[in-house]
A and B are shown apart, each in its own frame.
Chain A
Amino acid sequence: MNDTPTYLPESGSWLCAACNQPLVAAPVGVTYLQGGFTITLLTCPACGLSLVPEFLAVGKMFEVEQLLEDK
């Protein structure tokens, strides 16, 4: 479907509480400073709310934030 990097939670069976819908993997736009990427996150198919897992936020995202800030 898409070949963007995929970051799904390591555990849990997640629903969007507002829409009561199971989440699906979907491409999501990520931007920071001059950088822009597309990644795949669990997302509510109804309202589009996306889930950023902890390992992504404190790992790869943190790393890329620092790289972009140091450019």
Chain B
Amino acid sequence: MDQQGLHDIEYRCIQEEQPACQAACPLHVDVRKVMTLVRVGDLAGARKLLDRTLPLPTVLGRVCDHLCQGPCVRGSIDTSLAMGAVERTIINATGAATKPLAMPGKGKRAAVMGGDVSALTVAWDLGKKGYGVDVYVAGEAVGGHLLGLSELLPAGALAAELEIMGRLNVVFRAGQTLNAALLDRLGGEYDAVYVEMLDANFLSVGREAVDAVTLALLGRDGVFCGGFVTPGQPLSVIALAGEGRKAAVSMDRHMAGVSITASREREGACPTRLFTNTQGVIPLPGVVPADPGAGLTPAEAQAEAARCLECQCLECVKSCTYLAKYKGYPKVYARQIYNNLSIVQGARSYNQMINSCTLCGQCEELCPSGFSMPDLIVAARRDMVSRGKMPLWAHEFVLEDMAFSQSAAFRLVRAAPGEASCSHLFFPGCQLGGDPAASVPAVYAHLRAGLAGGVGLGLACCGAPAWWAGRQELAEAAMAAFRADWEALGQPRVIAACASCQATFARLAPEIPVVSLWRVLLDETGLPQVGVSLPSGPVAGVRLPAGPVAVHDACTGRHDVAGLAAVREILGRIGVAVEELPASGRLASCCGFGGLQANANPELAAATLARRVAESPRDFVATCSMCRDRLAGAGKRTYHLLDLLFPGGSDDPAERPDPGFSYRHEARARLKRQMLETVWHEPQPPETPPALPLVIPDVVRQVMEARHILDTDVARTVARAEATGRKFTDTATGRHLAGFATARVTYWALYELIDGAAHIHAAYSHRMNVSGVDRQEG
């Protein structure tokens, strides 16, 4: 990602776009902030804000024709906020004009020809910036159109501001004849000249004679023109001020000798891309002043300001625990990530943020302009991996889990018994394959009975974890290995039980045809005859949910419209009613496993999960084994859809706990052995019982799960200690403590030997190498 790439990504996020009111104001008064201050009664604070933005604030604040009001988002709900009236109340309530802070004198001088609003704005702005300004006025009185607004302006208000301008080194020269000869003279005497075209257009030129962006008079260096009258258009005081400001910026840059054209896109009234969600906004009538002649009282203004929606987007942040966690929004995150990747030496403090996104893509669905955190995050992770800067703590454990699924212990891709090729290949995925209660054998048998052309079985990892971890090459290698098997089997259609596998096939091997298991069960094989028309009560070993269920869609399957519909249709067919979650289907929320959030940031993943659980008190039905197990682990009653179609013997499958990492490993290995024995009739060597059985209490196992320590890690350490005697013994308790370092991790076990079994009291690990701890050879 380079600077330009960053800008392109940042541009996608619209949170920093101006609200409609501010965008419509030629001076870009921060109306939203003003309203926020007024709603809490801080009129003095609001006045300070106006003073910072407006020229002659006690005048313009009273006579402004509030172009901000028209596009107010409230206008489409009830009535636009009365911003002009609130502004007048602020000025009326906060006292006389005060001299603004001015910059030190610059030693350069500008001339202004004209005395109306645009001319006064030029003089005000340049005076504040430290220029000496002489204002040449045709008549005796300065103010132009302001002089006719006495019903809005208290006597003396304009004079007070003009007096302050005098203290800003602005000198008014009244009674002048404004003509071309004077312009020629001033052009020679001053560093820049402004000509106000409003009343006396002695140059007899129109807008086409000036540059639209800078208001520079074409062919006349150092002369700037504004305040053109457009016939038939009502005169807008604030638009005139906007024109004056534009000219003042140009003149300042001209006199400073810098580019007068750079970065001027956002000046004057401009369009905005900000989106504000108005769902659920309660209509409120505008506040009517008790005394219309006097305008809004401060209390009335406060009530009116309270109607402000304080427009902002944050559509993605409102729905995502991860995006809310880091207190910003995608545009800010893009910048932080870019900076993090650019660090040459020192701590990369955003590593955890980069590795905590679930990559679920809900943000992209919600974003009015399609900002995708996954695109940004995956690019960042790949960048870190490619430069060797990806910390091990983020994904190491899950990549080892993936390696196990790719090893001979689980991997099995073959056609049905006695056949060399197949038309279909059932691909349950590593998580369903690792579900100890899994119905993979029953589903496979059902597919074989119901589909013509032969159904093969594919037990393997699709590569999704590597893709999530930013390890593109590893993900592609996993898919290449699968593709070779797939071609040897005659390029069968893949029937995926897991939405993540399905999405990974589509991403890494679009040439492989993939269909969701749910579609096949519904459209091709028919559902197994279980529980049909017997919606409650124990039927064939499974109790269907008594009430409606909420479907927790897998976030990786949000775009599989056909698969999402099939899940609901299947539930309908077996008599289970569905209540949709607020975030379902295309907008589904992640369980916290996606993008390996649960590995890199377990606490955040728990919060992500808790938010999902809180969406409904109903039992959940999940279509992804990992989602189901995580939801169950959080105490949420959750069925896997297959539990309701292929009962596995559990009386209440929604209650079965999260099996945990170790059981999942064992279950995968056992599934392969079972399939080889029962389907292919290949006898498997008996499982060798461990030399020293382990007894692991639940409380210890929970800690091991959180620390990503497998039973096999503990067993290896204990077995080695008992074989070599290399361990410590506590003479007070008789407990043993042994440590053993594998290639990257040292595992420790605290245990007691009782009746030929090792009772585990604690297990922990570290990655640091300690010189006095035994290491595995090689």
Residues of A in contact with B (beta carbons under 8 Å apart) = 11-18, 23, 28-32, 41, 43, 48-52, 54, 57-58, 61-62, 64-67, 69-71
Contact = CB atoms under 8 A, between A and B. Distances in A.
B347 interface: yes
A32 B728 CA distance: 24
B771 interface: yes
A66 B12 CA distance: 33
Contacts of A51: 728, 737, 739
Contacts of B739: 51-52
B194 to A, nearest CB: 55
Nearest to A58: B764
Contact of B729 (A17, A48, A52, A64): A17
Given A13-B730, A52-B773, A70 B768 contact: no
B764 A71 contact: no
B98 interface: no
A30 B348 contact: no
Given A32-B768, A57-B764, A17 B736 contact: yes
A15 B348 contact: no
B347 A61 contact: no
B768 A61 contact: yes
B726 A49 contact: yes
7 pairs of A and B residues whose beta carbons are closest in the complex:
A50-B772, A69-B391, A12-B730, A29-B771, A57-B766, A32-B768, A18-B725
Interface string B703-733: 0000100000000000000001111111111
Contacts of A58: 707, 764, 766
A13 B774 CA distance: 21
B772 A48 contact: yes
Contacts of A43: 772
A62 B762 CA distance: 17
Nearest to B730: A12
Given A51-B737, A69-B393, A70-B348, A17 B770 contact: no
Contacts of B293: none
B614 interface: no
18 contacts: A13-B732, A14-B728, A14-B729, A17-B725, A17-B726, A18-B725, A28-B770, A28-B771, A31-B771, A32-B768, A49-B773, A52-B746, A54-B748, A54-B750, A58-B707, A65-B767, A69-B351, A71-B345
B771 A18 contact: no
A67 B347 contact: yes
Contacts of B726: 17-18, 49
Which of A11, A43, A51 has the most B CB atoms < 10 Å from its CB? Answer: A51
Contacts of B766: 52, 57-58, 61-62, 65
A12 B770 contact: no
B730 A14 contact: yes
A28 B728 contact: no
Interface string B271-303: 000000000000000000000000000000000
A13 B730 CA distance: 5
B349 interface: yes
Nearest to A42: B728
Given A43-B772, A57-B765, A66 B393 contact: yes
Contacts of B772: 28, 41, 43, 48-50
A30 B393 contact: no
Contacts of B727: 17-18
B258 interface: no
B281 to A, nearest CB: 43
Nearest to A54: B764
B346 interface: yes
Contacts of B351: 69-70
B728 A54 contact: no
B94 interface: no
Contact of A31 (B345, B748, B768): B768
B765 to A, nearest CB: 7
B392 interface: yes
Which of B748, B750, B772 has the most A CB atoms < 10 Å from its CB? Answer: B772
B407 interface: no
A9 B733 CA distance: 14
Interface string B600-637: 00000000000000000000000000000000000000
A53 B694 CA distance: 21
Nearest to B768: A32
A9 to B, nearest CB: 8
B729 A70 contact: no
A22 B651 CA distance: 54
A9 B52 CA distance: 63
Contacts of A13: 730-732
Interface in B293-352: 345-349, 351
Given A43-B772, A64-B768, A66-B393, 11 more contacts: A13-B730, A17-B728, A23-B728, A30-B771, A48-B772, A51-B728, A58-B764, A70-B347, A70-B348, A71-B345, A71-B348
A45 to B, nearest CB: 11
B749 to A, nearest CB: 11
